[in-house]
Structure 1
Amino acid sequence: MNNNQYQLDKVVILSRHGIRTPLENTIAFLEKSSPLKWPSWDHAYGYLTTRGGALEAFFGHYLSQWLEQKNINIEPENPDIYVYANSLQRTVATAQFLVNGAFAGYDIPIHHKYTIEKMDPIFDPSVKDDSPELKQAVLNDIEEADKAGAIFKNLAPAYQMVSDILEYPQSQLYALYKCDFADIPNELYFKKNEEPELHGPLAIGICAVDAFLLQYYSAFPKDQIAWGKITSREQWQQLIQIRNHYIDLVFHTKTIAQHISKLLINKIDDLLHNKQHKVNLLVGHDSTIAALLGALDFAPYQLPNQCENTPIGGMVIFQRYRHISSGKYFFKAEYVYQSFEQLYTGQAIDINNPPQHYQLQLEDASVNNDGYYDWADFAKRLNINE
């Protein structure tokens, strides 16, 4: 690619928060799913951990070096960067660590709208309209995505693995359902002002897999990570398919993705039209990223050296380039994230030991010979809510 002919003009970075503790309602639920005692944590539930903060600082340092390579230099007296986070501890803290790692000592405010632990509507995946028509459209999307029940059939080995790890047949949940893990009924929970959920083995599975992943990323002793029952990368890959499919079905399918991404798309559009800041950082959640990529018609992808489709701490970087000789604008989007191994080892990342970069593709659009999309192919997608 002839990158010397393109100057990075503006970036909007959408980051998922870094490593956190499990959510409190998840822990309460998981205690019913297994007779085993879950490991304790040294931070409040749902909070960014100290290790998570350190890894975000490393990521911020790398980000500043990457921007410098792209000839975007942030000046201490007038930092050309805008930062906006969801008003939860883990997202605000992630933004703080990213900025401190990138530009320590610079006067860069971290914007958030509410007091800590109040969800900002821009990042809120809750349903705004629970009409029967919208719910049916979402169900139709899920049915279309899961052609002939293929997803649920393919997840059978992963469901059995979760059941075995949890010792589910000895749990309170088994006493409630009185059936095998995979046979727990699936049901879409769809209520106004609440997050949509796909109740059943997929929901129980994602809660368990999330807890195991957080233990792994936090470098718990091996006998405490899923009680020592996950011993291979292949097991992780199979288990994390539960997580990926849940996120895809509940947040990435078209109707719900467009429904919950409207405010975020408007925010990104505003930032791209605002000439004040070249660098814009937004910090949200996995649901934020999955829904946005679904709403903007990005192609399906598989991230190299990662099992998660929306890895913790990972960020999507929307990039606008100006072609130097013609003055035309072009677009590129990359998923930049730490590999499964980088997260586990907690190693410092920088320009010499970089995170993973994966170029995302737009559906129904073509790249030029240098690998860039015409800016109009992306910009028109931002106006889907008009």
Structure 2
Amino acid sequence: MLLLQKGWSRLLFAVVLGAASCASQAESHYVLEKVVEVSRHGVRPPTPGNRQAMQDGTDRAWPQWTTRDGELTGHGYAAAVLKGRYEAEYYRHQGLLDRGCPAPGAVYVWASPLQRTRATAQALVDGAFPGCGVAIHAVSDKQDPLFQADKMGLTPLDAEKARAAIQQAMGGSPELAQQRLSRDIARLQAAVCQPNKPCPAFEQPWRIERKEDGRFSITGLGTLSNMAESIRLAYSENLPAAQVAFGHGGSASAIAPLLPLLTARYDFTNDVPYIARRGGSVLLNQITQALASDRASADAPPPARWLLFVAHDTNIAYLRTLLGFSWQQDRYPRGNIPPAGSLVFERWRDKQSGQRFLRTYFQAQSLDQIRRLTPLDARTPPLKTDLSRPGCRPSPVGVLCPWSASLHQLRAAVDPTALPAVHYTP
């Protein structure tokens, strides 16, 4: 019996070793050549304007945070550090980066000029390359054409075309959309409104509104969506349960039913194809140029091996719409873009055939990974969803799509009339 057990043990060891060897050999066929990543900022309190609208809309005070409204929190910084550390280890394992500090020019970080984006960029870099002094680049102005072209009026919308597209996305009218989402509205109302007291935000009819800067929003839905966002952020921040949805959000499963109106806001604004193409083409064009070239050029992004843009959920929403990409991750609603979640483009090469491929995926920490500051590694990774199209195929390194066809699709999605000038600093 002992000899038989030893025989089975040797056989099992040989099978496991052989499987590991095959997996290693299969993985070694692919070389990661380049990464372009667009990350959202980390956890923040409500912005000042959103806080006021939520308080007016519920006739009650929302919890005060220790960080100034709209700015990255210490907890948000710590969560982004964990993500940056995980990503750098993953890229070192794939051979994209050297151990220790990156070689000159290997990494380039460009952040939106707001405090929460610049601070998140710093957190990601501190996690990835502690003590290395990797620079964070940003414009000196309050807005950057790469991230805020729509707000700056550089990619104006045709008002009639945009309004018609929004109405179509809403199913014909704001009234019909509001009726269709009545159950989601009722759940949120029960969590944030006081019994038998006024709650004006839930009595307001939804309307399509054009802002002074030319962008569109849905009056009524916008405030409710910001409430859902603030609840999600409060849970991620690890605020006491009593301060999350006024005591109704003590767990990820409890807050999940309160979040769908976030998706609705995207569906009716940033995810409308016409609006996304006008607002997102400038960033998609820079991503495409970066993926396609490794040479320095005055009118192109820096030729870094890891080019990291730190931006906003609106930027990622535009991009995923242009890509025809959506996801459903853990307890988040469809297409949700959590704090420090990122859209990643990886260029791979098959060493045997010489063929190149593009892998595109969205990754984010789960609600509880952010709340508990869970360290990330191969056994406890962030959530990842790969983009797959006809012609793409699974591989040991993810879903790989044909390089030429993918590049053609990216370029075809860009509106050439919505490309303001973009300038990078050394």
> How far 1:369 sits from its partner (Å)?
5.9
2:59 is equivalent to residue 12 of structure 1: no
Q: Measured at CA, do residues 135 and 238 of structure 1 come closer, stay the same or move farther in structure 2, by a change above 3 Å?
A: farther
Residue aligning to 1:62 = 86
> How far 1:114 sits from its partner (Å)?
2.0
SS in 1 for 2:147: coil
Residue aligning to 1:145 = 169
Question: What residue identity is the alignment partner of 2:360?
Answer: A
Give the Cα separation in 1 of the matches to 2:199 and 2:186: 17
Give the Cα separation in 1 of the matches to 2:318 and 2:155: 16
Query: Is contact 1:128–1:193 with CA below 8 Å preserved after alignment?
Result: no
Residue aligning to 1:87 = 113
Residue aligning to 1:219 = 238
Give the Cα separation in 1 of the matches to 2:192 and 2:317: 28
**Aligned residue-pair number:** 371
SS in 2 for 1:223: helix
> How far 1:204 sits from its partner (Å)?
1.7
> How far 1:326 sits from its partner (Å)?
2.0
Residue aligning to 2:317 = 290
> How far 1:196 sits from its partner (Å)?
2.7
Give the Cα separation in 2 of the matches to 1:221 and 1:143: 40
Residue aligning to 1:367 = 392
2:381 is equivalent to residue 354 of structure 1: yes
> How far 1:338 sits from its partner (Å)?
0.4
Question: What residue identity is the alignment partner of 1:98?
Answer: L
SS in 1 for 2:72: coil
Query: Is contact 2:44–2:70 with CA below 8 Å preserved after alignment?
Result: yes
Q: Measured at CA, do residues 146 and 366 of structure 1 come closer, stay the same or move farther in structure 2, by a change above 3 Å?
A: farther
Alignment of 1:3-42 (within 5 A): 3-42=27-66
Give the Cα separation in 2 of the matches to 1:229 and 1:214: 14
Question: What residue identity is the alignment partner of 2:410?
Answer: L
Match of 1:258 among 256, 277, 282: 277
> How far 1:235 sits from its partner (Å)?
4.7
> How far 1:105 sits from its partner (Å)?
1.9
Query: Is contact 1:18–1:94 with CA below 8 Å preserved after alignment?
Result: yes
Gaps (5+ residues) in structure 1?
Answer: 175-180
> How far 1:227 sits from its partner (Å)?
1.2
Q: Deviations over 1:228-262 (max 9, x none)?
A: 03356555233211001112321011000000012
Residue aligning to 1:320 = 347
Match of 1:112 among 94, 116, 138: 138
Q: Deviations over 1:126-160 (max 9, x none)?
A: 254656xx233223333333336775444211211
Query: Is contact 1:35–1:166 with CA below 8 Å preserved after alignment?
Result: no
Q: Deviations over 1:52-107 (max 9, x none)?
A: 00111111110111101211123545251111010010001101110110011223
Gaps (5+ residues) in structure 2?
Answer: 1-22, 296-302, 417-426
Give the TM-score of the pair, scaled to structure 2: 0.80
Give the Cα separation in 1 of the matches to 2:72 and 2:374: 18
Question: What residue identity is the alignment partner of 1:322?
Answer: R
Match of 2:213 among 193, 196, 204: 193
> How far 1:190 sits from its partner (Å)?
2.3
Residue aligning to 1:73 = 97
> How far 1:3 sits from its partner (Å)?
3.6
Residue aligning to 1:177 = none
Residue aligning to 1:203 = 222
Residue aligning to 1:244 = 263
Residue aligning to 1:178 = none
Give the Cα separation in 2 of the matches to 1:339 and 1:130: 36
SS in 2 for 1:105: coil
Query: Is contact 1:251–1:257 with CA below 8 Å preserved after alignment?
Result: yes
Question: What residue identity is the alignment partner of 1:52?
Answer: G
Identity, % of aligned pairs?
A: 26
Question: What residue identity is the alignment partner of 2:87?
Answer: L
> How far 1:337 sits from its partner (Å)?
0.8
Give the Cα separation in 1 of the matches to 2:391 and 2:169: 24
Alignment of 1:152-167 (within 5 A): 152-167=178-193
Q: Measured at CA, do residues 52 and 114 of structure 1 come closer, stay the same or move farther in structure 2, by a change above 3 Å?
A: same
Question: What residue identity is the alignment partner of 1:157?
Answer: R
Moved more, 307-316 or 247-256: 307-316
Q: Deviations over 1:174-211 (max 9, x none)?
A: 6xxxxxx2x622222224535431112x2121111122
Give the Cα separation in 1 of the matches to 2:137 and 2:92: 24
Q: Deviations over 1:275-311 (max 9, x none)?
A: 431111001111110101112333x321234336111
**Which is greater in Rg?**
2
